[in-house]
Amino acid sequence: MEKRVLIAIFLSFLVLYFYQAYFVKPLPTDGRLKPAAQAQQAVTGPAPAAPPQPAAVQQAEEPGPAAKALVGETTERDIVVETAAVRAVFTNRGGEIKSWRLKRYLADTPAQIEPSGGSAQRLFAYIRGQFRSRDKQPQELVPADLPADQARPFRLAVDDAAVSRQLAHALFAVTSGATGTVDGTTAPATLSFAYQDESGLRVEKTFKFEPDSYVVSFTAKVTSGGTDLNPVVLWGPGIGDALFATPNQYLQKPEAIFYKDGRVTRVAATKVASQPTVEGDLRYAGVDDHYFLAVALPDKGVRVDYQLVTMPAAVTAAPTELVAYGARFPAPPADARFFFGPKDFDVLAAVDRELVRTINFGILSWLAVPLLGVLKWINRFIGNYGWSIVLLTVVINALMFPLRHKSMVSMRRMQDIQPQIKAIQEKYGKLKATDPERQKMNTEMMALYKEKGVNPASGCVPMILPMVVMIAFYEFLSQAIELRGAPFALWIQDLSLHDPLYVTPILQGVTMVWQQKITPSSADPMQQKMMMVMPLVFTFMFLWAPSGLVVFWFLSNVLGIGQQYLTNRIVGPPKPALARPPAERRLKNAGAGRTSGAAKGSGA
C-alpha cells in the first residue's frame, strides 16, 4: 500500500509543479478593438492605417490647438507624497502617478536581478552578489520603462476622444501640496489637482492618503460645456515588479483578477482577450502578480475593461506581458478606494477580509493560512524566517510522529507477511478473474490479515494527514510575501528565490533516496527500482523552487530518516524471508490443477 502513497505524493506535487509552470500561448489577434481598448483609444486617438497593433501601445497624438487654460500651469513638474508605507510621485501632466514605491519591500536593481554575459558568467555574478551588500531600493509598482504616451494610474478618459486627449496632456494646477512635497507620514494627507480652459472643460482630481495604508481614496469631477461627464479611471499596464524580468515558473505573472458572486476569478494575461470585460457588483477588480496587487474597491456596481499590453524588452531579451485595466463607476468617482500594495495577509485583511483571497493558497488555504500565522508568530521571537521554517518543520514532524510511526509499523508487518501473501496470490494466479474459485483468494488473504493482526489500509491512511500538511506547506511557502527578500544563512540570502548554488535541492534528492531505501516495502524489486526515479524527478523540480520550500522539504526528509531508524530500532529488524515448506509448495502446484480438473469433470 505504501507504493500507492508514494505515487499519490509524486502525482500531487507533479500537478502542483506543472500548475506553477503552466504557460499558455498568446491568442492570435483579429485586429478588432476590444472594449478594454476603447477608453484608451479615446486618449491616444484613432489607430493609424499602418499594420494594427494593440490600442494600449499606440502612439498618443498631441492634442490639437488647445483652448487657453484658465486654471493650470505652464511647465510639467513632479509632486512627491510621503507616507509611512509609500513614496509616491505624481506628475501634474494629467494628474497621474509616475512612481509608487513601497518602503517596507525592497528590490534589487535590474542589473542584480539578471547580470549580463553568458550563462556561466551570470551564475557566478549572481553567486558573488549573494555575499556582498546589495543596493536594494524600495519596490516600484509602476513599470519603470513605461513610455510617456501610455496611461499611468489615475488617468481619466471620457467618450469624447478630443476631451480625453486634453485630459491626458493638460498641465494641472496643484491646489494642495503646491510646494512639491506632501507629508502624510503622521497624519492623513490630501493632494488635489485642477484644470479649466476657455472651451468649458473643467476637471478636479483629489487623492487622499492615510499614514500607514496602501489604500488611496480618489475623487474626480469632469465637466465639459456645462455637462457633467462620468470618466473612466485608467490604470495602465501593471504591475511593474522587476522580478519578472527573469523567467521563473514558480512566480505568478501579472494577470487580471476580480471578485464577483463570492468567488475570485483570475485571468492570465494571454487569456484577457477572451474575457476583456467584467461588470456588476464587484467587491474588487484589477491586476496582480505573485506578490503585489492593484485593485479598485468599489462600493457599488462597476465595469472593468482589461487589455493585454506587451511591453518592449527592458532587462531581458524577452518582452514583458502586462495587463492594463480601466474602471467606470456608476457615477463619477467620489472617495472611490484603490488598493496598491503588497499581498500581505494581515495588510489585506485590515482592508477587506475577502481581499486575502487574492493570495493564491490553493484548495488547502484552510490549512495554509494557520500555518502561515504560526510561522509569523515564531519569527517574532527568532527574527529569521529561515530558522523559523526549521523550527516549524521540527514541531510539525514531532506532532505527526505517532501517525508516521503507526504507518511504518504497519508497513513492517505487511513486509513480514509478504511471502505468505505472494504464496496465496500464486496459488490462484492462473485462474481467471471470473472464476468462482478465485474468490477464495480474498477469503484466505483476509484470514491471514486477521491471524497476523495486520490492517492493509493502516499503512496508508495515517500518511494522508502528513501528505496534506506537506502540500499546504508547499502552497504557503511558495506564496508568502514574508519570504521575499528574507535571508537565511550563508549563500541563501532570499528564501523566495532558488538556491544559487543548488546545494539544498541536491541534498533533498540524496535524502529522498536514502529515505526510500530504508522504508519498508512490499513491492517487488522491479517496482522498487522504478520508484527510485522519483527522487530524480523531485530533485529536478526543486532546482528552481524557492529555497525556503526546499529547506523545509530537505529537513522533513532528514527527520523522516531519523524517525525510520528509531522505528526500526523499536520494532526490530525485518524477519528474513524463509522458503516455503514442501507441503506448501505441493499445495501451490496442485491447487490450480485440481480446480481445473474438477471443472473438466463437471463438464463431462
The domains of the chain are located at 17-27+36-360
Give me the percent of the chain exceeding a pLDDT of 70: 64
Give the contacts of 397 (CB within 8 A, at least 6 positions apart): 556, 559, 560, 563
Within 198-331, strands assigned E span 201-209, 215-224, 227-229, 232-238, 255-260, 263-268, 277-280, 282-288, 292-297, 302-311, 320-328
| Separation CA 114–CA 233 (nearest Å) | 34
Q: Verify cis geometry, omega within 30 degrees of 0, for the bond prior to 239.
A: yes
Does residue 20 surpass a pLDDT of 50?
A: no
- What does pLDDT average to over the chain? 75
Report the pLDDT averaged over residues 200-226: 92
Does residue 305 surpass a pLDDT of 90?
A: yes
Q: What is the pLDDT of residues 146-182, one digit of tens each?
A: 776 678 999 999 998 889 899 988 999 998 766 678 8
Q: What is the fold of 17-27+36-360?
A: Beta-galactosidase; Chain A, domain 5 (2.70.98)
| Separation CA 328–CA 336 (nearest Å) | 11
Report the pLDDT averaged over residues 292-307: 90
- Any idea which of 207-216, 339-348, 581-590 has the lowest mean pLDDT? 581-590
Q: For position 223, what pLDDT does the model report?
A: 93
Q: For position 416, what pLDDT does the model report?
A: 65
pLDDT band at 55 (very low <50, low <70, confident <90, very high): very low
Burial readout 556-590 (b: 16 or more C-beta within 10 A, e: otherwise): bbbbbbebbeebbeeeeeeeeeeebeeeeeeebee
pLDDT, greater one: 4 or 57? 4
pLDDT band at 194 (very low <50, low <70, confident <90, very high): very high
Residue with cell 499558455: 24
Angle of helix 547-571 relative to helix 503-518, nearest 10 degrees, comes to 20
- Any idea which of 91-95, 242-246, 409-413, 600-604 has the lowest mean pLDDT? 600-604
Beta-bridge partner residues of 82 = 87, 183
Report long-range pairs for 444-450 (Cβ below 8 Å, ≥24 apart). 445/421, 448/417, 448/420, 448/421, 448/424
Q: For position 530, what pLDDT does the model report?
A: 61
| Residue 158 φ then ψ, to 5° | -125, 180
Does residue 205 surpass a pLDDT of 50?
A: yes
Report the pLDDT averaged over residues 434-452: 69
Residue 288's alpha-carbon distances to 216, 253, 255, 360, in angstroms, are 17, 8, 6, 11
Calculate the dihedral angle through the C-alpha atoms of 435, 438, 440, 444, rounding to the nearest 10 degrees: 180
- Any idea which of 175-189, 300-314, 453-467, 550-564 has the lowest mean pLDDT? 453-467
Question: How far apart are the two ends of the chain, measured CA to CA in Å?
Answer: 43
| Separation CA 480–CA 489 (nearest Å) | 19
Q: For position 37, what pLDDT does the model report?
A: 42
Q: For position 524, what pLDDT does the model report?
A: 54
pLDDT, greater one: 299 or 376? 376
Q: For position 339, what pLDDT does the model report?
A: 95
Highest mean pLDDT among 66-80, 321-335, 436-450, 453-467: 321-335
Q: For position 431, what pLDDT does the model report?
A: 67
Q: What is the pLDDT of residues 385-436, one digit of tens each?
A: 989 999 998 988 888 777 776 666 666 666 666 677 677 667 766 666 666 7
Query: How much is the CA Rg of the chain, to the nearest whole Å?
Result: 32
What cell was used for 306? 482589461
Residue with cell 513610455: 147
- Any idea which of 184-193, 379-388, 540-549 has the lowest mean pLDDT? 540-549
Q: For position 488, what pLDDT does the model report?
A: 86
pLDDT band at 574 (very low <50, low <70, confident <90, very high): low
